[in-house]
């Protein structure tokens, strides 16, 4: 009887490692690099299932020209694909659509 209990505990532990490993394998951290000559003033990200832009992720912060920021895109929805919108201090905008944050770790805003 005790052998079966340890076998069941071992199987459950192994399953949690395998399942936990596959779920955590989807890293949703993205480094946003501002390769423009203007400071990035606002940054929006919405999963592709959304019709609206979410809130400005930067808030009161900016990403200077030539600078970067790392953002964790895990919003709990399970989505990997997001649309990004950058608004710069010179009022220009850049939109990157359908970015797979589970596969791509860097997004560059260029002129």
The parts of the chain modelled with pLDDT lower than 50 are: 1-25
Q: Model's pTM, two decimal places?
A: 0.73
The secondary structure element, H or E, covering residue 95 is: strand 93-100
Report the pLDDT value the prediction gives residue 23, as an integer from 0 to 100: 37
Q: What is the CA radius of gyration of the chain?
A: 20
106 vs 46: CA distance, rounded Å? 17
Only one residue has tokens 């596959």, namely 22
Provide the token pair at 39. 């400071």
Residue range 27-109 forms a domain whose CATH class is mainly beta
**Would you state the pLDDT for residue 76?**
82
Give the start-to-end residue ranges of the domains of the chain. Answer: 27-109
pLDDT of residue 26: 64
pLDDT at 50 (0 to 100): 86
Provide the pLDDT for residue 81.
93
State the pLDDT at residue 71. Answer: 94
Q: Are 29 and 73 in contact (CB under 8 A)?
A: yes
């Amino acid at each position: 009887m005790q052998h079966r209990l340890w076998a069941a505990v071992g199987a459950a532990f192994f399953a949690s490692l395998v399942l936990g490993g596959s779920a955590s394998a989807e890293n949703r951290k993205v480094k946003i690099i501002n390769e423009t000559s203007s400071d990035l003033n606002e940054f929006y990200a919405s999963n592709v299932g959304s019709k609206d832009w979410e809130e400005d992720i930067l808030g009161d912060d900016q990403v200077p020209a030539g600078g970067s920021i790392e953002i964790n895109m895990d919003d709990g929805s399970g989505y990997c694909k997001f649309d990004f919108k950058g608004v710069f201090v010179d009022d220009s905008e850049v939109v990157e659509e359908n970015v797979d944050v589970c596969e791509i770790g860097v997004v560059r805003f260029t002129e």
